[in-house]
Amino acid sequence: MLTPTTPSPLGAGKRSTSGGDIWQDGKALDSLLLALTRFLTKDKSAELLDYGLMVLYEMVFNQSSLLTGHESLVFSFLLDVRYAQKLNVFEATNAIRDVLIEKCDPILGLSTVHRSLEGFLKRPAPEESLVDARTSSYCFSLVALAKFILLLPAEVLEDELPRLKNTLITALSDSTSASIREAAYVTIIAAQIKLRDERQLFTILSGLSETQKHLLTYEFEKIKARGPQQNEAEAAGLQKLGGRIRHLDALPTPHA
């Protein structure tokens, strides 16, 4: 059995029994995952990437408990392979990300994605032809944070959100891409939907400019995310937020 060196967000559900002993005894899935993520580089053909990402999707969906300890590897790989700038890759990585979110413990999943994003942002700036791909991976990560945030109870989010503060403020103030700023807005709006109190939120995210606070307050008002929770209002707000997430997931328009 794969033994994690740190707490793992995966494996909360039941393990598939189909072939499970074979995977565990020889750690074959461990080896397959490493080989797959090393082989599927951005320069591979669309067909190879399509088949390889299909395999990874099935691994995450059906054998999530056996990926324990490799979640950061998987998410970092997803950020990298999006540099292929192919439509099928964008769609597949979105699907794999969403399955990871479904399978993960939300607290540890949030931390895993955040660490991966922090490492991603420390890399040197890419060449000009890859700037849009970097922006896409940046937004991809922020959307993952937003989706995990929506799974957390408000009292847990209060403890987790301060760890995201610098990342969110940096993204919200990004001067290179409106898409990055939009993804940051979406993530902060997700937090507001759970907290329902912008004063508390702005205290946690100390460092926001007055202009940013006014814009966020306007956004909160538009989706009815202020004041006491109301089921119908929250449902409508989530629907609007979902539309903005889908728009972000479709950007930029890659090569087919």
**pLDDT at residue 4 tops 60:** no
Percentage of the chain lying above the pLDDT 90 cut: 72
Per-residue exposure over 5-34, b if at least 16 CB sit within 10 Å of its own CB, e if not: eeebbbbeeebeeeebeebbeeeebbeebe
Q: Are 94 and 140 in contact (CB under 8 A)?
A: yes
**Residue length, the chain?**
256
| pLDDT tens, position by position, 99-149 | 999 999 999 999 999 999 999 999 998 999 999 999 999 999 999 999 999
- pLDDT at position 233 is 67
Q: Are 133 and 126 in contact (CB under 8 A)?
A: yes
Q: H or E element: which one contains 176?
A: none
| pLDDT tens, position by position, 201-246 | 999 999 999 999 999 999 999 888 887 776 676 777 888 899 999 9
pTM: 0.88
Total Cβ atoms within 10 A of residue 240:
15
